[in-house]
């Protein structure tokens, strides 16, 4: 219930008290009745009020995405200048801003790589710069987080195969770059979310953001000290939402600070794709939108009718010569944004404000003990 509704109900109770007073009801009885009403209101609404106050930015429900943000909206603040290295056979890409205040390790999802988070540049010729990944990194750099991304050994993260390698890389890199005194946080999506949820039992992170994943329940449950954890997930993935709720309840029972951000679906606009994808021009974005409307991929309110991975959206675009017959360089980027618009199992930067508020508020908070 909205806090304004609570206030209105309180006002109604006061009016009732006044009416009772006018009808000759004694002050003692009136006072007792008033205390009873106040006690009932407190019992009903206090948990909700505390929950709101405890949540990042005072909210823990559906997050309204920042659709006004474009791919270049913060480039006046920070720009990519990554360093690419191969350490112990692993692809490692990192960037350290001036006066860094903390370190962020990001773990990609299945089929991902470190190159997904960085724009192609002379420093990184193989970088891809997927729209959501790159914006997460830019937000982190703008907020003075040094960012390090590491590619998994296989298609998805394997805790047994990747754990020691990642721990070794992080420890070496922090020492080599003279960042040992800074707080370290981690963000992982899907497979990366499972990975960091387990890695946090063996490597000290000040806090975590687990995205579109519930984490590895048994590993997290067995840990006596676990870092504050924010879950970012999408309600259209109903089963995942149920699993996230179970993990949150378990961590809460252990005294671990937790919160969640729910990422709803949203309608496309004609320029949404060009607003989010570097190099995709506005004319092409508008034409894609028109084809999607014509073919029923979007409904009358411009929402996706189905999850992006289940639609052969490339075929009508090729038939109408909107994209070439050969694999278009933007297909992966477009696919990611369609998944995001449908609100189903995708990396997201739209909730960056809540994510970095969470990290900022737990940089120096000691780990909880159960």
Tell me: the pLDDT tens digits for 56-75? 443 454 455 556 788 788 87
Q: For 213-241, what is each residue's pLDDT tens digit?
A: 999 999 999 888 899 999 999 999 999 99
CB of 78 within 8 A of CB of 138? yes
- The pLDDT of 303-313, averaged and rounded, is 92
Per-residue tokens: 120: 């192609």
Q: What's the predicted TM-score (pTM) here? A: 0.81
CB of 131 within 8 A of CB of 276? yes
Burial degree of 319 (CB within 10 A; 0-12, 13-18, 19+)? exposed
- How many Å apart are CA 150 and CA 192, to the nearest integer? 11
pLDDT grade for 205, boundaries at 50, 70 and 90: very high
Q: Identify the DSSP state of 207.
A: -
> Higher-confidence residue: 365 or 232?
232
38, pLDDT greater than 80 = no
263, pLDDT greater than 50 = yes
Q: How far does the chain reach from its first CA to its final CA, in angstroms?
A: 32
The per-residue pLDDT of the chain, averaged, comes to: 84
**Per-residue pLDDT at 64:** 52
pLDDT grade for 5, boundaries at 50, 70 and 90: very low
Smallest CA-to-CA distance from 86 within 59, 104, 113 is with: 113
């Amino acid at each position: 219930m909205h806090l304004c509704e609570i206030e209105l109900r309180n006002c109604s109770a006061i009016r009732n008290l006044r009416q009772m007073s006018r009808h000759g009801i004694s002050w003692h009885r009136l006072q007792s009745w008033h205390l009873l009403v106040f006690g009932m209101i407190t019992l009903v609404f206090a948990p909700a009020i505390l929950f709101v106050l405890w949540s990042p930015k005072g909210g823990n429900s559906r997050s309204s995405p920042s659709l006004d943000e474009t791919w270049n909206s913060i480039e006046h603040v920070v720009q990519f200048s990554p360093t690419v290295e191969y350490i112990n056979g692993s692809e490692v890409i990192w960037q350290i801003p001036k006066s860094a205040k903390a370190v962020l390790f990001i773990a990609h999802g299945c089929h991902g790589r470190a190159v997904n988070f960085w724009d192609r540049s002379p420093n990184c010729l193989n970088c891809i710069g997927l729209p959501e990944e790159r914006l997460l990194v830019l937000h982190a750099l703008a907020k003075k987080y040094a960012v390090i991304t590491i590619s998994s050994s296989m298609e998805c993260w394997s805790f047994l195969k990747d754990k020691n390698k990642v721990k070794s890389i992080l420890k070496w890199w922090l020492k080599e770059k003279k960042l040992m005194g800074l707080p370290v946080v981690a963000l992982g999506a899907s497979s990366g979310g499972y990975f960091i949820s387990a890695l946090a039992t063996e490597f000290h992170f000040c806090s975590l953001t687990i995205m579109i994943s519930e984490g590895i329940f048994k590993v997290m449950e067995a840990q006596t000290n676990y870092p504050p954890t924010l879950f970012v997930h999408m309600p259209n993935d109903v089963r995942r939402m149920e699993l996230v709720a179970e993990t949150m309840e378990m961590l809460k029972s252990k005294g671990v600070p937790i919160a969640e951000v729910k990422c709803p679906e949203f309608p496309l606009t004609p320029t949404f794709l060009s607003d989010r994808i570097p190099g995709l021009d506005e004319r092409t974005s508008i034409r894609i939108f028109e084809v999607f409307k014509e073919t029923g991929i979007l409904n009358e309110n411009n929402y996706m009718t189905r999850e992006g991975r289940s639609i052969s959206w490339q075929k009508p675009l090729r038939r109408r010569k909107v994209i070439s017959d050969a694999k278009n360089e933007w297909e992966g980027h477009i696919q990611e944004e369609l998944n995001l618009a449908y609100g189903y199992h995708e990396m997201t930067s739209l909730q960056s404000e809540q994510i970095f508020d969470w990290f900022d508020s737990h940089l120096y908070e000691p780990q909880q003990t159960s």
